[in-house]
Amino acid sequence: MHPQSTAPVVAGVDGSVPAAEAARAAAAEAGRRGAPLHLVRAFSWPATQPAGLPAGVDARAAARRSAAADLERLRASLGGRLPGDQVRAELVDGTAADVLRAASASASLVVVGAVGLTWGATSLGTSLGTVAEEVVATSAAPVLVHRRTGGGLPCHGVVAGVDGEPGTVDVLAAAAREAIDRGEPLEVVHAWRQLTDDAVRSLRWRLDPDATDRSERAGVEAAVAELRTAHPELEVEAVVVPGRAGQVLVGRSQGASLVVIGRPTPVPDTLNATVHSVVHRAPTAVLVVPVPAVPREARSPLTAAGRSRQG
């Protein structure tokens, strides 16, 4: 279970239907964690007055009042999900990405909708908005990307993508908490890639895929064994397959309720190929956990020569 937390769950909202759905998901997360909920809406206005407005109208002030009223309605609508004193709403001047990045510094979790006003309520599946991507790439706290799913089919199970680096411990801990809280099984997925024959032909190397698979599987199964010992009530399965990590995780996410992956930090404000693939293409919610970046020369044997994790 999640430990009780005084650090808030921050929900980024913008007045759209997907953002309101993300706020409700954030309220559920706050309830599970025993944490307060902080609704944050950014307000940004052009430096020059937009053309076509009536003379003498303070359009900025009117727009800000409208945004504040909408935010208060959303806060009030969540009153039945959490005690009233546990839900706070704040309208902050600035761009959405900058405002949420700042809020993440004191948050236990940041929740954003996969899409907002750009795509709106009709967006299903694997669209991802610019703001959501920026928040995932820069947040100091874990980010839950809430995504609407279509088809009416129930989603069940948590999928965790691991690469064998030290951050794997953080990813597995987060995934185990989520699976236990949801009462769902956990699938730990590790994808590996060998160097191509073309890359090693000039060196006259011969690569044994079976040996590589055994090596990769041993590391993952050791981590999973520790997880089973720590959480005997949790159903855990290890899946180790060759392929590009992003493609494999998106495939395994079909029918899951949540995917959990790590994002190396500190890094430039961009996503690596695996995280980018999953947050853009997974058809379900994705929890992105900041983990320490490991210098190439310090990587573990599980992630050493012979393959790449990104893609």
- Report, as an integer, the average pLDDT of 72-92: 93
In the chain, what is the greatest distance between 2 CA atoms, to the nearest angstrom?
A: 79
Query: Does residue 162 share a domain with residue 43?
Result: no
244 plus 185 within the same structural domain: yes
> Residue 3 falls within a domain, yes or no?
no
pLDDT of 120 reads 47
Same domain, 247 and 180: yes
Same-domain check for residues 23 and 100: yes
- What are the DSSP E strand ranges found in the chain? 9-13, 37-43, 87-93, 109-113, 143-146, 158-161, 186-192, 236-242, 258-265, 285-292
What average pLDDT does range 228-257 have in this prediction? 95
Would residue 261 count as lying in a domain? Answer: yes
Residues 115 and 198 in one domain: no
**Domain housing 16:** 9-48+58-146
Co-location of 112 and 164 in the same domain:
no
pLDDT band at 178 (very low <50, low <70, confident <90, very high): very high
Question: Nearest-CA neighbor of 196 among 244, 239, 246?
Answer: 244
- Tell me, yes or no, whether 261 and 296 share the same domain: yes
- Express each pLDDT in 206-215 by its tens digit: 667 787 788 8
pLDDT score, position 150:
62
Q: Looking at the domain assignment, is residue 308 inside a domain? A: no
- Answer yes or no: do 110 and 176 share one domain: no
Domain end residue (candidates: 146, 174, 206) = 146
- 24-58: pLDDT as tens digits: 999 999 999 999 999 999 999 888 777 887 877 88
- CATH number of the domain at 225, please: 3.40.50.620
Question: Does one domain contain both 129 and 220?
Answer: no
Report the mean per-residue pLDDT for the chain. Answer: 86
* Of the listed ranges 175-184, 232-241, 258-267, 282-291, the one predicted with least confidence: 258-267
Q: How confident is the model at residue 195 (pLDDT cuts 50, 70, 90)?
A: low
The answer as to whether 41 is a domain residue is yes
Helix, strand, coil % in the chain, rounded to nearest 5: 40, 20, 40
Residue 163 pLDDT > 70: yes
Per-residue confidence (pLDDT) for residue 53, from 0 to 100: 79
Is the Cα dihedral 277, 282, 288, 292 positive or negative? negative
Residues 239, 204 share a domain: yes
Please indicate, yes or no, if residue 309 is contained in any of the structural domains: no
Boundary residue ending a domain (112, 146, 180): 146
Q: How confident is the model over 87-110, as pLDDT tens digits?
A: 999 999 999 999 999 999 999 999
Domain boundary among 93, 111, 146: 146
The answer as to whether 151 is a domain residue is no
242 in a structural domain: yes
Q: Are 41 and 30 in contact (CB under 8 A)?
A: no
What is the total count of domains within the chain? 2
Q: Do 21 and 116 lie in a common domain?
A: yes
Half-sphere CA count of 203, side-chain side, radius 13 A: 9
Q: What is the value of pTM for the model shown?
A: 0.86
Q: Are residues 203 and 131 in the same domain?
A: no
| 204 domain-assigned | yes
